[in-house]
Amino acid sequence: MTSAGINRVTASQEEVQQQLERILSSREFRLPERTRKFLEFVVTETLAGRRDSLKAFTIAQAVFGRDANFDAQQDPCVRIEAGRLRRELEHYYLTAGGADRIIITIPKGGYAPVFDVIGSAGPADLVPPEHPDRPGLSGDDSGQIDTAADTISREQPDRRLSRPLYWLRAAGAVLILAAAVALLQQLGSPNAERETVAGTDNRPTIIVERFESAPDGSLASDISRGMTDDIIEKLVRFNDIVVVTAMPRKTGEASPGPLYALQGSVRLEGSNLRSTARLVRRADAAVIWASNYDADMKVQGIPKTQTILAGDIAAAVARPFGVMFQTDTAAIAGNYAFSCVLSYYSYRSEMTVQAHEAAKSCLQQAVEKTPADSNVAALLSLIYLDEFRFSYQLHRQSTAATLGIAKELAEHAVQLDSKNARALQALMLANFFGNNPAAALSAGAAAYASNPNDTEVAGEYGLRLSMSGEWDRGCTLISEAVGKNAGPRGYYEVGMALCAFMRGDTQAAELWSRMSDLNYNPMHRLVLLSILGALGKQQEAQEQVEWIRRESPALIPNIRREVVSRLARTEDQQRFFAGIEAAGLSVQDGEAAQN
């Protein structure tokens, strides 16, 4: 059986082994050795007929070196690494593997890979599958897997045509900043005020079409109506977009209609609910994103399952750094204010001085141009906050004046829209770094309540809870954010490293720390340094010391101040400083010097 050019049978063992070697040797397969070992292990076990043994516990022992006390509920390393592997396999097949015949995927709901043959291969070229029945969502790992996470479906016919979208994504920062600069030059134009995406609003507009189902008044039909309503309710909480449910009346050439349509379908197979969602650019009917979501309704019941899937679909489409901010920037950069929003997300992904200055300049102009826009005020507040919290990366002075400007902008953004999760997030961070943890957590709770599907809000709130000493609550939110690919790549992983470190699991802490982007912020290097010191890895710790001295020497005399400004509890500070001391640095009396 074939669908969208994919023959739904597996390839021969020799073909799969050759494809595995091709992936592992590719420059486009960019993951570290542990992830390569993960892929090699699950492929080898499946080819050996042991796919049923591929559970979190088994993989944790074989790949991550965990012992018999491993608890997947407390340590999500396997789940998170599987998510990374899925995304990197997708990246590989969009680039170097675009013409490959054998497709290796790891479907959501388990860790056993599936091997498909794609292209013009006929039945004579194919080997019957050894395991025709693929695992479903049941089993001892079902409660540990985010079965509705953001992933591109293998059943979507446009997947093989989406290579240009990868190049747009890879060059997203350049395109976004170029759009922002070009629009800066249009500010003096008399037509600039009219250049909006959808009428008079500054934001891109999405029309949510009712999800399709069997037209027989069945349970699937009821669920499709409910899911559509739930998706709309969750999408409207994202302030970066406008959601409509019907085509607006045209009042002239300034009303081009919604830029996107969110479409989908629902079908039932026993107790299993499968929903397919896709985002379509209405100008040319191009599918810019598509995904399948599966869940077993016996686990949580129909209403809860429906709500969870709706939340995951809404988050995948509208979350910061998500589909709309990565894959189609050229289409939605048509008005000035939103180009500045895109410029901000591009800067956060790069974290360079140049990108910071471009985004800051754009947002400053946007605040003057659209003074009633809560979003641009909130993002400008976050830009100033970054000068304070990422000062060593951005080569700025973390002054009280900078923090004061950030707080004023955040308060103004909240006054403009008290339900804007991004504005409340900015206020949370301004209060946190202003040494007012109670006010920070209050604003964070309000932000999370306003939009729990905003992964950036959930992740930042989780970090502030954790660093304030509420590690259990905070680390749960950080883990969920990482599982949904929140924020710039590698940003929240450093939070997971701290979570593991503070509960005494230094092995997991090192793993998470190395999974983070160590070049994103010198503080990430400091976290790894403390962990390596606690592990007694002196040579590796010395490499981090040398990097900090060479690339961020200004951090050295300020280690104590920076740590105390982030970790509220004395016992947490002491644990962190003990690791630094063991690594060969002294942080006594506010100074650091190599022993």
According to DSSP H, which parts of 351-436 are helical? 353-369, 374-389, 391-394, 400-416, 421-433
Q: What is the pLDDT of residue 216?
A: 58
Query: Does 260 reside within a domain?
Result: yes
Query: Does 451 reside within a domain?
Result: no
Q: What is the pLDDT of residue 84?
A: 78
DSSP H/E element including 525: helix 522-535
Whether residue 112 is found in the same domain as residue 22: yes
Distance CA 202, CA 391 (A): 31
364 Cβ contact partners less than 8 Å away, ≥ 6 residues apart: 380
Q: Residue 546 sits in a domain of what CATH number? A: 1.25.40
Low-confidence ranges of the chain (pLDDT < 70): 1-10, 73-74, 118-202, 214-217, 248-256, 326-337, 588-595
Query: Does 239 reside within a domain?
Result: yes
Whether residue 90 is found in the same domain as residue 186: no
Q: Which residue has the tokens 């509208």?
A: 318
User: 340: which 2 tokens?
Assistant: 């500045």
Distance of CA 22 to the CA centre of its chain: 27
Whether residue 500 is found in the same domain as residue 533: yes
Query: Does 405 reside within a domain?
Result: no
Q: Which residue has the tokens 């388990």?
A: 110
Whether residue 43 is found in the same domain as residue 140: yes
Q: What is the pLDDT of residue 201?
A: 56
Query: Does 378 reside within a domain?
Result: no
Distance CA 314, CA 279 (A): 11
Distance CA 46, CA 38 (A): 12
Backbone angles phi, psi at 36, to 5 degrees: -65, -40
Phi-psi group of 138: left, alpha or beta (phi > 0 → left; psi -120 to 50 → alpha; rest → beta): beta
pLDDT tens string 317-368: 888 877 777 655 555 555 566 788 888 988 898 889 999 999 999 999 999 9
3-state per-residue secondary structure call for 418-480: CCCHHHHHHHHHHHHHCCCHHHHHHHHHHHHHHCCCCHHHHHHHHHHHHHCCCHHHHHHHHHH
Whether residue 176 is found in the same domain as residue 285: yes
Whether residue 178 is found in the same domain as residue 314: yes
Query: Does 410 reside within a domain?
Result: no
Q: What is the pLDDT of residue 215?
A: 64
Whether residue 242 is found in the same domain as residue 174: yes
Q: Of 331, 359, 379, which residue is a domain's last?
A: 331
N-term to C-term CA, the chain = 67
Provide the total of helices (H) and of strands (E) in the chain, helices listed first: 26, 11
- The domain tally of the chain equals 3
Sign of CA dihedral 131, 133, 138, 144: positive
Distance CA 201, CA 335 (A): 9
Whether residue 88 is found in the same domain as residue 227: no
Q: Does residue 114 sit in helix, strand or coil? A: strand
Sign of CA dihedral 209, 211, 215, 217: negative
Q: Which residue has the tokens 């650091």?
A: 592
Burial letters for 351-380: b for 16+ Cβ neighbours within 10 Å, e otherwise? beeebbebbbbbbebbbebbeebbbbbbbb
Alpha-carbon distances, residue 243 vs 81, 201, 222, 344 (angstroms): 34, 12, 22, 22
Backbone angles phi, psi at 543, to 5 degrees: -60, -40
Residue 507, domain extent: 489-595
Distance CA 129, CA 135 (A): 14
What number of residues does the chain have? 595
pLDDT tens string 149-174: 333 233 333 333 333 333 333 434 44
Q: What is the pLDDT of residue 547?
A: 94
Q: Which residue has the tokens 């949370």?
A: 428
Query: Does 205 reside within a domain?
Result: yes
Q: Of 286, 313, 331, which residue is a domain's last?
A: 331
Q: Which residue has the tokens 């006010």?
A: 439
DSSP H/E element including 276: strand 272-281
Query: Does 439 reside within a domain?
Result: no
Whether residue 136 is found in the same domain as residue 191: no
Report DSSP letters for 8-77, one per residue.
Answer: SS---HHHHHHHHHHHHT-TT----HHHHHHHHHHHHHHHTT-GGG--HHHHHHHHH---TT--TTT--H
Whether residue 44 is found in the same domain as residue 139: yes
Q: Of 331, 348, 371, which residue is a domain's last?
A: 331
Using an 8 Å Cβ cutoff, are 19 and 123 in contact? no
Whether residue 82 is found in the same domain as residue 208: no
Q: Residue 320 sits in a domain of what CATH number? A: 3.40.50
Whether residue 54 is found in the same domain as residue 137: yes
